Amino acid sequence: MTTSKLTPANLGSLMAAATGGATGDIGKARAGEGAESAEGAARTGPAATEKPVAGDPADDAPRVVAIYRAEGGFAGVRDTLTVCADGATALELRPGSEARGTATATQVADLTRLIATREFASAANQYGHNHGIDRTTYVIVAAGKTITIAGAATLPKPVAEAQAILNALMSALR
């Protein structure tokens, strides 16, 4: 599994790429447009098997395991959660407000395991539809894959379990 190093310099670009841009429009990810840039953003930085360049200031930065975005609904949420391999979590609540926390070792291990499965890798890019009033759309960006979930949908087990972990982490920071 390839992950990205999280640094203050790339946090905004990773989140913007994962969610369709700085405007918060996840329609691009929903329509499949821009998926290449989101996947590319999720793969930036050295692969897990590559050695970082000595002296690189990002050497000590934690690697991003997943980025999770919730947008829409009655309240008009636009929240982005970043989960790092060291357990660090950051939740951007609408641009300008951020909460930080820590995932348990079990949550990170389970999330990493689920994302590494064949079923997650072969999951469709979109589940459900965004027809209806006040529907919340969710986007998971992990392991070079972008999955959009809109409305009620039957998800592959690893995707559903990963979303449950991400929802729990997001709820803990709200």
Query: What are the tens digits of pLDDT across the range 33-90?
Result: 333 333 333 433 344 434 445 555 556 678 999 999 999 887 778 999 999 999 999 9
The CATH T-level fold of domain 4-173 is Mago nashi protein (3.30.1560)
pLDDT at 26 over 60: no
Strands (E), the chain: 4-5, 63-72, 77-84, 88-93, 97-102, 126-128, 136-142, 145-150
Calculate the CA 107 to chain-centre distance. 15
Given a cut of 80, whether residue 23 has pLDDT beyond it is no
User: Domains of the chain: which residue ranges?
Assistant: 4-173
